[in-house]
Structure 1
């Protein structure tokens, strides 16, 4: 009896699925077009990969899903929860209201119930004002039957979380334990407005996460897989359990590119490299550091809202297998940024369509065999060569932007569209196109470890530096175990501590991340 795992990753163009054995060998792989509703594409990919691999269904013990459901819901402003936003910070934070700087259509959708309540802490952990519990009880009564998710943010909650936790207790006491409550101290880092936005977005996609997870579990059951433990990909290249994903669905945002990075690392055997993931719509370029994606240090916008929770450091370029190439009468041309996306097989010239795409360019130049090359024979070769040179330089520029020095570095090519990229690139010490590169994202989701991260401001005066770091490491390991990791395999994969010179008590912001294998 073997132990097998299914990995599925949803991209903008294709949904990929793989089945791996316990040594992470690929037993089956498939690609199907991503569907409008996302879910039916997932089910189709799952069905196909199960049928093609002939693995006993009872031996499939793990199922991993990397999904764009939450991102799409925020970007499209659809299927969002009806939420209440509670900020604990009066009278100190009344000048800037919640949702400031968020696009109007999103504010309209999410900003019906907004409250600023007395409470919050100073940067050194002293109370600004005692928490106004009576007001919270009143708000909870007012929200009854109106909202199905609540976002609570308190000033400097990464230093002291007591007000947020007490507010959550009151809300649940009145509205029931089942009500999802998102606390900012568990989601974002220091910086009130961005942390608040991240918490609001998290609260708004709880239903989407629930529907996605239930749909995935039901689809597995329909295929006859009853014993598999289900995990979702999160945006640092690791996994989280279903319960954890229901609490923090926002962490699934941008998990697709990070799955590709992890898959690229595994398939190529390189821990430090630049990964170029060419899909149907975009090319994402990221950096592997010790086999994990490098994190962005900037505030990241999601659907137009500035947030500050951890995200991968990526550059996206509008170049993919379905990118539309337009040639003008004077012989000039433009590449993208729009794409035929998942309709490539009906729109591209090589498939009998009427749209010139980047795929047609590489087929016409004899660099790939896809569709019917006769259908692009009439194209002007010299013009195609200059289009191809421009496509290559788009990728080289993106790689250059991600490098931290001028030295050449290994570049790993993955994704179904990587046929667009030549075997040598300016600035690359070598270009590696590993076996199974087309489904690196699904492999990344299947092989992923489980992680936990803690980011808090500690006062070193209390315990001293060594003991404080030990405590933070233990907290990160506990987070990883809660998310589904085996405690015996947990390692600290990243640690940073930044002294906050302007704070008393020798305050230091500590961020620790632990990762471990799935608990069996």
Structure 2
């Protein structure tokens, strides 16, 4: 018998679960997140292992979902200095890199930029002739001044040969291990948004190195040395540690997607709305055919407009630790600030002096946590009812905002803060809860498969549709294998074909996704 270990690091709690080969949960735990990620992971792993009696070497795989990359961008901390090479001279000079970026984030990256010859039109024709010597000269000037490189070619998703050549030249000058991000492997069509995503990917290199090393060290300290480690992507799938080191931006948004996948597993539903209520926020997403619905619009990450794939998630400042206040006019506010991982020190029901949504749930009999007597003494029934009405209204509004059609939806309610939600909500047909819902995120991380995605413009008048789709599926499969999938198990899960208006030759944007089982060495 082999087992799998899943860990999810949130802003408030770090959850860990152990599953069997048949996806049966045999142990789970929840502990507070620590300022340094490694200590919190180690604590949770050690704690969950105390609940099992098999040899640790039987754990074959370990999965980590983390918000470290998201936090680094939001907090502007621990980011690489980035050199940005755009291939598109002279056509793209009117809008230079970092246009419309927050000044504090630009400052944190210490960037150097250059727009050089190269790039393509949408049909593959050259904008200008790529020049090896020009690239080499630029890289020589930057030697020792940047710690990572972002390379962006105009329409590189159509032809990425020039980007790959820049990476090759950079490795010749800076060494094989120097981090280079090529935009065709990061973002979608649309130069500026793809460029932004690629720059962020480059900036996150050392954050991901520290996260990956911390996870591996935590596993070794806990004695789980035989497990193959994986990180969670933001589409509900996994990637190998090596792939994650090259594509750290793909972890952004992975927390909510883990919860969505975990909720799907617990409910056996493939289409529903999912709400994950944590300690600080409530994240709302949509389950479509067993996977999170992807956002169809450009997504802001830390104030930067990007177009790499992101789940369609709505987050509101409502969690189990959200602070509840009465205003001078008698109204009640909830959040967005939260006591977070300090809830057991600050909430009334634990002997603290701060009114939280958890205290409201305890006062109204929705939860049996801490000492109810402490809450009853300090919170009147009228105040608790006003707070509950506010919580209900906030949840109902967020559900309504995520709907794409009229009518009631099924809601899967998960997360440690789910106790603050009422039993009924307007616009919801049935609410599904599960005793393991508080660790749905870690479950989602543990059951995930490896995914691969490919997007490109095809001219169907030149390349027959059947041939184009087969090519795209092979490229997506290749990407999944690079991320750690067993190629023989890779199968198609979604295809999107979008005709491009005004483009000649029946030009169509094809976006295709495959998933496969983990490739375990020796099997």
TM-score, normalized by the shorter chain, greater than 0.5: yes
Which segment is superposed worse, 433-442 or 500-509? 500-509
For 2:517, the equivalent position in structure 1 comes to 517
Aligned positions of 1:394-473 closer than 5 A: 394-473=394-473
Provide the rounded CA distance (Å) in 2 between the counterparts of 1:330 and 1:211.
49
1:386 matched to 2:386? The reply is yes
Q: Secondary structure at the match of 2:295?
A: coil
Aligned equivalent of 1:366: 365
1:310 aligns with 2:298: no
Answer yes or no: is the 8 Å Cα contact 1:476–1:514 preserved in 2: yes
Q: Deviations over 1:442-482 (max 9, x none)?
A: 00000001100001112223321111111111211221122
Deviates further, 325-334 or 415-424: 325-334
Unaligned runs of 5+ in 1: none
Matches of 1:384 and 1:220 in 2, distance apart?
A: 43
SS at match of 1:44: helix
Q: Distance in 2 between matches of 1:477 and 1:434?
A: 35
Partner of 2:48: 49
Residue 50 of structure 2 aligns to a residue whose secondary structure is helix
Secondary structure of the structure 2 residue equivalent to 1:481: helix
- Give the TM-score of the pair, scaled to structure 2: 0.97
Q: Distance in 2 between matches of 1:171 and 1:136?
A: 9
Partner of 2:251: 252
Residues 1:18 and 2:35 are matched in the alignment:
no
1:354 is the counterpart of 2:364: no
Contact 1:99 1:111 in 2 (8 A): no
Do the aligned residues in 1 keep the contact of 2:111 with 2:146 (CA within 8 Å)?
no
* Residue of structure 1 in register with 2:322 after alignment: 323
The answer to whether residue 336 in structure 2 is matched with residue 341 in structure 1 is: no
* Structure 2 CA distance for aligned equivalents of residues 309 and 182 of structure 1: 13
Q: Matched residues in 1 for 2:213 and 2:387: separation? A: 45
CA distance in 1, matches of 2:413, 2:157: 39
Q: Give the superposition deviation at 1:37.
A: 2.1
RMSD of equivalent CA atoms: 1.2
CA–CA distance in structure 2, aligned partners of residues 266 and 508 of structure 1: 35
Partner residue in 1 for 2:261: 262
Asked whether the 8 Å contact 2:37–2:211 carries over to 1, the reply is no
Q: Does the Cα contact within 8 Å between 2:332 and 2:390 map onto a contact in 1?
A: no
Deviation per residue, 1:129-148 (Å, 9 max, x gap): 00122111111111222222
In the other structure, the counterpart of 2:298 is 299
Conserved in 2, the CA contact under 8 Å of 1:85 and 1:111?
Answer: no
Q: In the aligned structure 2, how far is the partner of 1:110 from the partner of 1:505?
A: 42
- Cα deviation code 1:149-188 (max 9, x no counterpart): 1000011111121221111111112112211110001111
Q: Distance in 2 between matches of 1:340 and 1:127?
A: 55
- Structure-2 residue corresponding to 1:3: 2
Superposed, which structure 2 residues align to 1:142-157 within 5 Å? Answer: 142-157=141-156
Q: CA deviation at 1:329?
A: 4.4
1:494 match: 494
Q: Deviations over 1:319-363 (max 9, x none)?
A: 100000011344222111111111111010111111111000110
1:53 is paired with a residue whose SS is coil
Please give the TM-score of this superposition, normalised by the length of structure 1. 0.98
The one-character-per-residue Cα deviations of 1:232-260 (angstroms, maximum 9, x if unpaired) are 00100100011110110100001000000
Aligned-partner Cα distance in 2 for 1:355–1:484:
46
Q: State the distance in 2 between where 1:391 and 1:480 align.
A: 41
CA distance in structure 2 between the aligned counterparts of 1:224 and 1:367, rounded to whole angstroms: 39
Where 2:34 maps in the other structure, the secondary structure is: coil
Is the counterpart of residue 167 in structure 1 residue 160 in structure 2? Answer: no
| 1:24 match: secondary structure | coil
What is the SS of the residue equivalent to 1:391?
helix
Q: Is the 8 A contact 2:497 2:510 kept in 1?
A: yes
For structure 2, the residue ranges without an aligned partner over 5 or more in a row are: none
Does the 8 A contact of 2:42 with 2:222 survive in 1?
no
Deviation at 1:367, TM superposition (A): 1.1
Aligned residues: 519
Q: Determine the C-alpha separation between the residues in 2 that align with 1:391 and 1:30.
A: 27
Q: How far apart are 1:89 and its partner, in Å?
A: 0.9
Q: Provide the C-alpha distance between the structure 2 equivalents of 1:406 and 1:506, rounded to a whole number of angstroms.
A: 35
Q: Say whether the 8 Å CA contact 1:188–1:194 is kept in structure 2.
A: yes
> SS of the counterpart of 1:461?
coil
